[in-house]
Structure 1
Amino acid sequence: MRSNSIRSIRRAELSRAAFEAVIRYGLRKATLDKVGEIAGVSKGVVLHHFKDKSALLEAVFRRSNTLLSESVVELYRYAETPYERLWAIIVANFSQTIFNPSVCHSWVSLISEVPHNIGCQRVQIANNERIRSNLVHELKHFLPETEAQHAARHLGVLIDGIWVRAGLLPEPVSSSAAISEMEYAVSKMLPYDESSAAKHKEARKKIETVADIALGSKAFKDRSLQA
């Protein structure tokens, strides 16, 4: 049992190192040697836990999606209404903790590998489904079931599109600008009379404020490092 626990901890450490290597050097230059350097271990240790770069790449995908999932869960703790829970999902996808130029540029490289890596495909499909399910759950408070499903799919596509665009453009896309793109889409898909608009704006403001504090806190970063 202890051996399995140590192995799991080591794999988590190497996954974090691989994630960092991709951000620092880009996908092509993120060699197993560089992963070992960041983790403070030899290439042999890396190979002991991940048989090749393809397996390590899958671990990077899992790591990035875990960070996103943890961000949503953390913001949910402070969301008290359907409006705030919807905005918790949106803000978590574009929080400054993960939505920054270096991560966005790395993400473009990573997703280009998805068609060629079955493990990465599984991780990405699971992540897309989780986002869709979360969105549908909250959108049903505003729309009939069928419309909620369609709106969730379109919002999911928009989230992916903003990430890709941010990774391709030479100028950085700010977290606030990305969230505003989502707000525009929400205003067109959901009931958005004067009262609803005010509630959405209040919810966005609250959750963004919470995200700046909670997702940037040492406690949250420490927990995410252990994942």
Structure 2
Amino acid sequence: MPKVGMPDIRKPQLVKATMTVIERVGLHAASIALISEEAGVSSGIINHYFGGKHGLLEETMRSILREHGATVSKALADLPKTAHKQRILAIVKANFDNYQTQGCVIKTWLAFWSHSMHDKQLMRLQRVNEMRLLSHLLIELKAIFCESHAQNVAHAIAALIDGMWLRAALSPEGLSHNHIESIIENYVETQLLAQQTQY
């Protein structure tokens, strides 16, 4: 976490530089020297405010997660509370918006996921992100399905989001966002149809 007093103008500058350097050379080679050079600041500033590379990576991921959270919130705010299917699909779409699929953001996400397996603080951030996604989905799904089935469908949608995002990130050709969203929408439609045929 950045220390109190860190100029707000410096935070986005350093976050952007961190993502740019990670995209260019990878997390392990992304040294404080390279990041500070990219940001046009001294290495001492990064060490002073973030305690080094680890703290800066944590702040970078917090920034990405805040951006993602704001995108989801805005998408849901534009829809009626009772439009459950549309709200589910809006949550899905928010995971593939333009910001989240930038090359530098994608590579930072991948580095974060890998690094979080060996770092308790980064793993905590990942868990918060995971629970937030499930929470958003469950609010809508519980209005349609019973508790247990809503839980199952929420986890399946989350797995589809993560799996399709990962396939797109690692594929040289990538995947069409529309194609990804249609695959997940087909799953949601199948679940809704099965629910209707029970009555």
Length-normalised TM-score, structure 2:
0.84
Contact 1:104–1:164 under 8 Å retained in 2:
no
Task: State whether residues 32 and 43 of structure 1, in contact with CA within 8 Å, keep that contact through their aligned partners in structure 2.
Answer: yes
2:73 maps to what in 1?
Answer: 73
Report the counterpart of residue 59 of structure 1 in structure 2: 59
Matched, 1:187 2:186: no
Deviations 1:181-212 (A, max 9, x none): 21122123333699xxxxxxxxxxxxxxxxxx
My pick for the range that moved more, 25-34 or 115-124, is 25-34
C-alpha distance in 2, partners of 1:133/1:160? 16
Higher RCO (C-alpha 8 Å, min separation 6): 1
- 1:31 match: 31
Deviates more, 1:129-138 or 1:56-65: 56-65
Taking structure 1 as reference, are residues 69 and 40 closer, same or farther at Cα in structure 2, changes over 3 Å only? same
Give 1:12 shift: 4.8
CA contact (8 A) 1:108 1:168 kept: no
CA contact (8 A) 2:20 2:104 kept: no
CA distance in 2, matches of 1:94, 1:110: 17
Q: Which runs of 5+ in 2 are unaligned?
A: none
Q: Does residue 159 of structure 1 match 2:161?
A: yes
Conserved in 1, the CA contact under 8 Å of 2:23 and 2:103?
Answer: no
8 A contact 1:22–1:30 mirrored in 2: yes
Q: Which amino acid aligns with 2:22?
A: V
* 2:168 counterpart of 1:169: no
Which residue identity does 1:188 align to in structure 2? T
Separation (CA, whole Å) in 1 of partners of 2:103 and 2:177: 10
Query: 1:41 corresponds to which residue?
Result: 41
Give the partner amino acid of 1:149: Q
Structure 1: segments with no counterpart, 5+ residues: 195-227
Which has the larger displacement, 12-21 or 127-136? 12-21
Does residue 87 (structure 1) correspond to residue 89 (structure 2)? The answer is: yes
2:57 & 2:104 partners in 1: Cα distance?
17
Aligned-pair identity in percent equals 31
Q: Which amino acid aligns with 2:187?
A: A
The residue identity in structure 2 corresponding to 1:7 is: M
State whether structure 2 residue 14 is matched by structure 1 residue 14.
yes
Q: Give, in angstroms, the shift of residue 24 of structure 1.
A: 3.8
Distance 2:127 2:92 in 1: 18
Q: CA deviation at 1:67?
A: 1.7
Give the TM-score, by structure 1 length: 0.75
Partner Cα distance (1:53, 1:118) in 2? 16
Cα 1:137–1:159 change in 2 (3 A) is same
Change (3 A) 1:131 1:32: same
Q: Which amino acid aligns with 2:27?
A: L
What is the match of residue 119 of structure 1? Answer: 121
What is the deviation of 1:134? 0.3
2:76–2:87 contact (8 Å) kept in structure 1: yes
The structure carrying a bigger helix percent of its residues is 1
Rounded to whole Å, the distance in 1 between the matches of 2:62 and 2:119 is 13
Structure 1 pair 8–157 and aligned structure 2 pair: CA distance change class (3 A): farther
Is residue 32–residue 53 contact of structure 2 (8 Å, CA) maintained in 1? Answer: yes
